[in-house]
Structure 1
Amino acid sequence: MGDTDRKLFVLDTNILLHEPLAIYSFQEHDVVIPMTVLEELDRIKDSKRDVARDARVAIRALEALFKDATPDEISEGIPINRGKESSGHIAILADFELQETIKAFADKAGDNRILNATLYLQNKRAPREVILVTKDINMRLRAKGAGVRYVEDYRSDQLIDDVEYLTKGFQQIEGDFWASVEQVESKNLAGRTFHTLAKAPFEPTYLNQYVIDDSDFVGRVAEINEDSISLKDLSRERLMHRRAWDIAPKNIYQAMAMDALLDPDIDLVILTGAAGSGKTLLALATALEQSIEKNMFDKIIVTRNTPDIGESIGFLPGSEEEKMLPWLAAVTDTLEALHKNDHCTEGSLKYICDKANIQFKSINFMRGRSIQNAFVLLDECQNLTASQIKTIITRCGEGTKIVCSGNLAQIDSQYLTPVTSGLTYMVERFKNFEGSANIHLNGVVRSRLAEYAEENL
């Protein structure tokens, strides 16, 4: 590991919990795993936390690399990809043998040893770049304060540089849409009107992306060819007057969301937007409409991430569904709002929950299931990693529709940012999939108080 042109990356434990196979992302550079990281992985792999599985995957990946290596080779470094000349190397550093140079917080002994190892390598390997890679923001600050020159977040799974560039699921054309169109070919198919137009003015465009203007045009991209696109003409007036479970859209963004939620040809709907923009309300209203009125689904499954569920769900009384209720209060609140005008709201809720077969499930118990003919609502997606979202979406079988909603401004996970959130990852990965639609709900419709708070706090 002596080539000065290659960078030297020291990985923190949270990198291997976030992406267990992260070691393979540093192909042309060298990687050092401090012994403290292995100790922390060992503690986590036997815990009840939902990251225990990721810890075991990371340990197995390291064991596969080092199984035939001698102790000297492990400390000196072995090729990450055997048989490739330009491949980087990976080594394990016995950081407990190093002389202590940092006396920081006693309760963070593991972090201090990792910082100590990074400073040791920085001095020993100079002038090589030694980079500490960690997803812990506070660890990055402490590292810089302790004298580590290069500290980075793990970004190989990051698809965009700024959440501002994330596709909103619709294009807004200024003025009148038809005034800017030079050539169009329109045709009717099964009572629907489709317009074929030049592709260039709409670039970049994606399947099922909506196109709206400032007057009354609403279209949805139905087909993309080399130099043309086909737009399905949707009447704005019809969209705005559409109802699901007696709920009508309050703005054009909610109308587009409702269109996607009620479309049987769309299997995945991603709803993003501020708190109070109507994500959960629209999803539940359309779920009840399609399950009870149209008999399209056998059940409605509501699930969300519960950060400390591994430890605390066991202490709550009742069945799995009763244990989940504190975390799913947002959903039960919405159900109450949908039936607030009924003669007996409580009786209505019990009847609806039985009739629609609404099930509240923990994300931890979704792995290994196959969900058929269900409407799945995955709430608070911004706190999930890409692998957690993949776990749930790959559960969906025939006749299942999944709605993923979240607000990137309300991330609770200490390791996720808006650009590394699984919600961002999903929006980017599915934007070209014909069976998915993504709508960013602009505007807060909860109350004028909520709208003012969203804009000014």
Structure 2
Amino acid sequence: MKKIFVLDTNVLLHDPQAIFAFDDNEVIIPAVVLEEIDSKKRLADELGRNARSVSRLLDGMREEGHLHEGIVLKNGGLLKVELNHRSFVRVQEMFGEMSNDNRILAVALNYHLEELEKGTNAHTVLVSKDVLVRIKADVLGLEAQDYLSDRTVSATDLYAGYSTLHVHPSVIDEFYTYRFLSVKSLQLSSRLYPNEFIILRDEMGTSKSALLKVSQDGVRLEPLYLSNDAIWGITARNAQQRMALELLLNDDVPLVTLTGKAGTGKTLLALAAGLLKVEDDHKYKKLLIARPVVPMGKDIGYLPGEKEEKLRPWMQPIYDNLEYLFDTKKSGDIDKILMGLGSIQVEALTYIRGRSIPGQFIIIDEAQNLTKHEVKTIVSRVGEGSKIVLMGDPEQIDHPYLDSISNGLTHIVERFKAEGISGHMTLEKGERSKLAQLAADLL
């Protein structure tokens, strides 16, 4: 059964290729969407880049015919730019204001009413990443959906980085005897991924257990090589933190991703591992720590001072963790220490684009606020002999067009989970304080 999909502006700004994601159905772009895209194309950020991509894409399609009459797409669908706002009176009666969102709703409602008059079976669906627009559509009796085609995996199937298996106690005894297990010998129904951690528990209910890791080739289960000794004064407080440190300190795993709620220790563990590898082991030449600047108010350019002064408020969480690791007593001591070392650089993510970064331990904090394209841009900057750690909480998104599934951090976790050069860990237990854990769970 054919469907008519009316696209909101945020769908195209999120994914310029969205017009090809609806198979052989009809795709409608309201004219007001073109106006909104035009207003964004001069921006220097990801939204501007996507707006320009959409503009070029539509301009190229004009060679196939008139957009307002409809152009047949390669997948058999039909693309059309719609100018008709005949149903705007009804929308205005419901919501009053003549806003762009309401004009888009009017186009969708007009198509819906026309199909009802024709008596056809075609369904009109408004596609928007704006929750309030979808709610308004429900009020008007329109079917509305989020844009889901870009999602790598469903929310319930996110890769955690570890699994718990209940086995016969003889299997655990075999592991402690031979110090390895064959993945094939377990005869599992689900796949185990390289560098995935496995917790073996006795299916008989005893306390017998073992903690293992899948080898990089995915064929063996091996013991963890890292002891639970302190690293720059930091020790793992739970099983997930120990697994995370195993990945962070493994030089054969150049890509590590960490996810978890606030207070689970992501930043502190990554910084401790980075300091050990750079300052003590001299495995890497420099420790580079970066965060995306996603303002909740005005942008960074409105702050006074030089670049370092502008960056300080955004980078303060990093400095807080460094002060803890260096055990500084006075305000300003950490700046003197970092200046003296010269091998630790705290930077805004904006300033590492376009660079080639060899021989460095790179930490990207708050990576959940990055798009897929931005994550690709960053990871593709990693040079020979470098290690990169991306971490964040997918449930705390500040970007207007991202969610817990469509962000760059979740995307790279899912795309790289089967690769031997990467490892992932989901930290679940908060270790900051009982209050912080309750706040993360309840709020």
The answer to whether the superposition gives a TM-score over 0.5 is yes
1:144 matched to 2:138: yes
Alignment match, 2:157: 165
Contact 1:372 1:396 in 2 (8 A): yes
Structure 1 stretches of 5 or more lacking a match? 188-192
Distance 1:309 1:231, change over 3 A: same
Deviation at 1:98, TM superposition (A): 6.8
Deviation at 1:68, TM superposition (A): 4.2
2:317 corresponds to which of 330, 340, 359: 330
Alignment match, 2:109: 119
1:79 corresponds to which of 54, 59, 72: 72
TM-score relative to the length of structure 2: 0.89
Return the letter of the residue paired with 1:47: L
2:305 corresponds to which of 318, 328, 333: 318
Contact 1:339 1:349 in 2 (8 A): no
Deviation at 1:49, TM superposition (A): 4.6
Contact 2:87 2:109 in 1 (8 A): no
Q: Deviations over 1:21-43 (max 9, x none)?
A: 11121232111111111100000
Return the letter of the residue paired with 1:168: A
Return the letter of the residue paired with 2:213: R
Contact 1:45 1:56 in 2 (8 A): yes
Q: Distance in 2 between matches of 1:99 and 1:195?
A: 67
Q: Deviations over 1:244-299 (max 9, x none)?
A: 22211112211111111011111111111121110000011111111111222222
Q: Distance in 2 between matches of 1:108 and 1:335?
A: 51
Contact 1:36 1:95 in 2 (8 A): no
Which runs of structure 2 are paired with 1:158-307 in the superposition (5 Å)? 158-162=151-155, 164-174=156-166, 179-180=170-171, 194-197=180-183, 198-201=185-188, 203-213=190-200, 215=208, 217-223=210-216, 229-234=219-224, 238-241=226-229, 243-307=230-294
Q: Distance in 1 between matches of 2:404 and 2:68?
A: 37
Return the letter of the residue paired with 1:263: N
Deviation at 1:117, TM superposition (A): 0.6
Distance 1:160 1:147, change over 3 A: same
Q: Distance in 1 between matches of 2:342 and 2:308?
A: 15
Deviation at 1:344, TM superposition (A): 5.5
1:361 matched to 2:347: yes
Alignment match, 1:17: 13
TM-score relative to the length of structure 1: 0.86
Q: Deviations over 1:212-255 (max 9, x none)?
A: 23556222111556xxx3122226xx5322x3222111122111
**What is the alpha-carbon root mean square deviation over aligned residues?**
2.7
Q: Deviations over 1:189-224 (max 9, x none)?
A: xxxx54324252372210100112355622211155
Contact 1:339 1:345 in 2 (8 A): no
Further displaced range: 201-210 or 254-263: 201-210
Contact 2:354 2:381 in 1 (8 A): yes
1:61 corresponds to which of 39, 57, 65: 57
Deviation at 1:429, TM superposition (A): 0.8
Alignment match, 2:205: none
Return the letter of the residue paired with 1:137: V
Query: SS of 2:215's equivalent?
Result: strand
Count of matched residue positions in the alignment of Structure 1 and Structure 2: 431
Q: Distance in 1 between matches of 2:189 and 2:365?
A: 31
Q: Distance in 2 between matches of 1:97 and 1:142?
A: 18
Q: Distance in 2 between matches of 1:154 and 1:49?
A: 21
Contact 1:274 1:441 in 2 (8 A): yes
Q: Distance in 2 between matches of 1:76 and 1:63?
A: 15
Further displaced range: 436-445 or 367-376: 367-376
Deviation at 1:17, TM superposition (A): 0.9
Query: SS of 1:232's equivalent?
Result: strand
Deviation at 1:336, TM superposition (A): 1.2
Q: Distance in 2 between matches of 1:19 and 1:185?
A: 50
Return the letter of the residue paired with 1:42: D
Contact 1:305 1:380 in 2 (8 A): yes
Contact 2:322 2:334 in 1 (8 A): no
Alignment match, 1:131: 125
Q: Distance in 2 between matches of 1:177 and 1:444?
A: 32
Further displaced range: 29-38 or 356-365: 356-365
Contact 2:256 2:390 in 1 (8 A): yes
Contact 2:16 2:53 in 1 (8 A): yes
Q: Distance in 1 between matches of 2:311 and 2:336?
A: 17
Contact 2:64 2:71 in 1 (8 A): no
Distance 1:47 1:184, change over 3 A: closer
Q: Distance in 2 between matches of 1:282 and 1:426?
A: 20
Q: Distance in 2 between matches of 1:354 and 1:441?
A: 33
